[in-house]
A and B are shown apart, each in its own frame.
Chain A
Amino acid sequence: MKSGWGKTATGIIGAAAAALIAQGAAAQTLDDLAADKTTPGNILTYGMGYDQNRHSPLDQINTETVGKLVPIWSYSLVSDRGQESHPLIHEGVMYVTTHEATVALDAKSGRQLWKTMLEYPAETPRVACCGIVNRGAAILNGKIFRTTLDAHVVALDAKTGEEVWKTQSIDFRTGYSMTVAPLIADGVLIVGISGGEYGIRGYIEGYNPENGERLWRTYTIPEPGMPGGETWPEGDAWKNGGGPAWLTGTYDPELNTVYWGVGNAGPWNAGVRQGDNLYTGSMLALDPKSGSIKWHYQFTPNDPFDYDGTNELVLTEIDGRKVVMQANRNGFFYVLDREKGDLIAANHFVDRVDWATSVDLTTGKPNQTETAAKARSGEQVEFWPSAFGGKNWSPMSFNPTTGLAYANTLNIGMNYKAVEPQYRAGVFYFGAEFSWSWPEGDRGHLRAIDPMTGKSKWTAGSAIPRFAGVLSTDGGLVFTGAQSGEFEVFNAESGEKLWEFQTGSGVVGQPVTWEMDGKQYVTVLNGGGAVYVLFSGDERLAQFPPGGAVWTFALGGN
């Protein structure tokens, strides 16, 4: 560049402009992330848009053409862990994560461009309660960002896969881990910690995406003396009070607010931590630059049921009101005003909800039952939904045209008794004895839910419950997968199954759709495993081996 010093002003400006353009071609900006929903050629955000609607305007694959859907390519992930990663696509390159690798693929052919392995201490899986998984990457300015099981945040060069920076969030040994796909909001890389079953004190963090410097950490459990600290008993309960934040939050660029769900309180035995236990079982509205809490709403106060409030927070407008929605583990479908946090609706979305009959829309407090009181007092109780929830982590889609949310819901109960907890760093901290209570028939249903009433327009049951994410499209379709290996497509209006393909291993991933050169593609990871396989003891799954792969489908023929 030295020769450039002597050049004219125009020449210098021209060089600078060229540099900018070059960068623009190789990278993406915050504006690109904000526009993700309306640019189906790229998938730049977890949930296919900052609003996490997982709904695409693409309609080449539709109720008429879906019969011609065929696999285009498959790519082995060389992993027998559950595959839950949300693929990203930028300019023809697909980025996928597993617990031990990040890969870049040519989106059209499935050919590997690079693969970067991660190394973490062999003891790390000890602190992963519910599967050795990773839920995906984030992208900005030519870098790919991800979290690791041993609680690090990593940036890779999107072109080469080389590590740009790696920052340790916390020492994993006492029960902390990370599986979350990061969120980039207002230029800040935001992640949340896992470990609600290990006596952690949960938090959400913001990093500088350029250099990995930590900008802020907001604990989900306030210390004594801070606002919310009064909802914990005197003593040390708050220090091991749980409150993980293990699923990706949602961003509203207009309000410049990040919405992030907070998980269960720990130990499960709620008797040892009397009080509401903020901000466990809650959602937080955060300022992305500072991490400060603008407002909160608590779904499940003094939670004895492992009712995480982490499920995806979906943004839309209902009757002209900007709202945020969540189908909570606790069996209620919540709709809140996302400017102020006022509760608009909260209704059961599964058939049996034992812990609360309703939620008071004025106070926002649940009207809890005798069962909930007994569970807290240490009596043996059976309650539905179980700790798996009315819906687990598998994200739902929301179709703004039909106004329906499509979600894989669960029909499982739990036998439960709180017992004296014994804290020991790095191992489970339950304080409860429990077993499952199974229904006669289907253990799960794909539902088309009206957010305002919680009622289902249709349901599609399955004996082994579905744990995959859901994708909906303007083609009138709903895509999801089964733990028995089928990638499935349903009619969004009727719930009729229109198409399926056996992928060879359980599908617990997150389907996405995109287009290139005028063709619509659908991509999903298969690879059975994770929480249901590990915890349910459902021996029917013995017929469906693990083994992860990326599958991409499109319409065949001409």
Chain B
Amino acid sequence: MKAAVPFLAWLAIFLSPAAFADEAAKKGASVYKQFCSHCHGLNMVNPGTGSYDLRKFPGDQKERFVESVMKGRGDMPAWGDILYPEELEAVWYYVITQNGTKLAPAGKQSRLETPQTSTASELIVSDTLTVCLPRNGGIMSGARHKGGTGFDYDVSRLLADKLGLSLETTWYEGELEEESDPVRDVYALLAHGLCDIAPGYALYENALGDPPSARAALPRWHDRPKNLPSGHQVDLQAISASRPYGRIEMGVVLAAKHGEKEINQLNDLQGLKVGIEQGTLAGVLTVKQAPRPVVASAVTYPPGPGFLWKMENGLFDAALISLPAYDFHRRQNPITSLRLSTYRHPISFNIGVAMLARNSELLTRVDNALSTLLDDGSIDLATQNSRTHVASPSPPFIRPALTLSDIVAERRIAR
């Protein structure tokens, strides 16, 4: 589970396809400038004498593009080791749409050969529950030399025990940066047969059922074959999710000197210097819903563990943040002076276990096991052990996608 819903993911939740495309081009422009411009020219304009004129790149030869970028070609260096898959996607989009000025050639993007590792059998390794978890998922999941840690990892172990299976974990790179897309990551991991289930999956309508795109790049994972090109894409399949076993909320964290301040709504942030966690849903909600003077004087910092450390160091007084992010900070800094107020933002997400939709028998088994674990207090215990503020699930189990009006105004959502 991500500490926060990343940028592209929340854009995808509520933006129209056209607006999403525009954002994608912007992201592509930024990647292009950082990685490509010094050889291929600003905005892809170059004389074509020293380096390839990318404006002429055929829009139906994505495979060739990916090969050249990730492995290098001629004088061109390989970028496979530092370019993230979603950056490759973004820059490909940028190139074929010529910075968003042209339509992407529909249906002409050539496909990479996909190794079909998924089989009809329900479990990819018999008698074993294989789970995909982010290696670096903060308080929710973390790879260790042997086994793992975190709330979602603990729930996975409980599940495997309850199902009478042994547990294997495929640790993948989650939160590489704020723009990574956890939804597509999970679709790709499941479709590629790297695991049976992906716990800690945010349950909202757009994140379930048919895939958000026909294909997506695989995230990196431990034991990833060396010969698989970085950014390798797989065909996605529909996924479904179990009943929820927890709920992720957002709350306001206060610096010690304001620790007693009562917060009932974001309006109560008046008079505080507020930090905005860039590129996260909590950050966007702060910008849209906090009082204008507060936003005007707010400071923005990149997401991740460093964010709350900046608050610890006195750079701001208050921030809306997802609770697991606060929990993780508290684990890293047990003597933190930061205080979590009692306020909770009305928007929250249930989390459940994702799997391929066609594995209907597994779904039933997981649902039954989770019900038992919730009823007998095992999950509550896991919450306490991992010292997280994961809340009990509440209906609707699968929430509708966020709308623009959810974003612009803080309001109680009918449940």
Residues of A within 8 A of B (CB): 80-82, 122-126, 128-130, 132, 420, 422, 424, 426-428, 430, 435-436, 528-529, 533-542, 544-546
Contacts and interface: CB of A to CB of B under 8 A. Distances in A.
Contacts of B49: 528-529, 533, 541-542, 544-546
Interface string B344-364: 000000000000000000000
B223 to A, nearest CB: 24
B78 A123 contact: yes
A427 B82 contact: yes
B172 to A, nearest CB: 20
> Secondary structure of the A side of the interface?
loop
Contact of A528 (B33, B50, B72, B278): B50
A518 to B, nearest CB: 40
A128 B278 CA distance: 30
B341 interface: no
Instruction: Find the residue from B39, B43, B302 having the highest chain A CB count within 10 A.
Output: B39
Contact of A129 (B38, B77, B81): B38
A129 B43 CA distance: 16
Contact of A125 (B39, B43, B45, B302): B39
A430 B75 CA distance: 24
B46 A124 contact: no
B47 interface: yes
B77 A538 contact: no
29 contacts: A80-B50, A82-B50, A122-B72, A125-B39, A125-B76, A132-B75, A420-B278, A427-B35, A428-B34, A435-B43, A528-B49, A528-B50, A529-B49, A533-B46, A533-B50, A534-B38, A534-B39, A535-B37, A535-B38, A537-B42, A537-B43, A537-B46, A538-B47, A539-B46, A541-B47, A541-B49, A542-B49, A546-B49, A546-B50
B394 to A, nearest CB: 37
B42 A535 contact: yes
B46 A534 contact: yes
B300 interface: yes
Measured as residues with beta carbon below 8 angstroms from the partner, the interface class of chain B is 20 to 34
Contacts of A529: 49-50
Given A427-B82, A537-B42, A420 B51 contact: no
Nearest to A540: B47
B213 to A, nearest CB: 26
Nearest to B278: A420
Closest 9 CB pairs of A and B: A537-B45, A541-B47, A542-B47, A537-B41, A428-B34, A123-B77, A427-B34, A125-B77, A126-B77
B67 to A, nearest CB: 14
A428 B78 CA distance: 16
B75 A125 contact: yes
B105 interface: no
Nearest to B178: A422
B48 interface: yes
Instruction: Find the residue from B35, B47, B48 having the highest chain A CB count within 10 A.
Output: B47
B79 interface: yes
A207 B255 CA distance: 51
A458 to B, nearest CB: 30
> Secondary structure of the B side of the interface?
loop
B46 A420 contact: no
A214 B146 CA distance: 44
A141 B147 CA distance: 61
A10 to B, nearest CB: 61
B79 to A, nearest CB: 7
Interface in B65-86: 72, 75-79, 81-82
Given A80-B50, A430-B33, A545-B49, 15 more contacts: A123-B81, A126-B35, A420-B300, A422-B302, A428-B33, A428-B35, A430-B34, A534-B50, A535-B42, A537-B43, A537-B46, A539-B47, A540-B47, A541-B47, A541-B49
A128 B37 CA distance: 11
A324 B29 CA distance: 43
Interface string B261-303: 0000000000000000010000000000000000000001010
Contact of B77 (A122, A535, A540): A122
A539 B49 CA distance: 9
Nearest to B29: A433
Contacts of A428: 33-35, 37-38
Interface in B171-201: none
Contacts of A132: 75
Contacts of B42: 435-436, 535-537
A533 B40 CA distance: 10
A533 to B, nearest CB: 6
Contacts of A81: 50
Contacts of A122: 72, 77-78
A535 B51 CA distance: 11
Nearest to B302: A422
Given A528-B50, A529-B50, A130 B38 contact: yes
Instruction: Find the residue from A426, A435, A539 having the highest chain B CB count within 10 A.
Output: A539
Contacts of A80: 50, 75
Given A123-B78, A420-B300, A428-B33, A128 B38 contact: yes
Contact of A539 (B33, B45, B50, B79): B45
A528 B78 CA distance: 24
Nearest to B75: A125
Contacts of B37: 428, 535
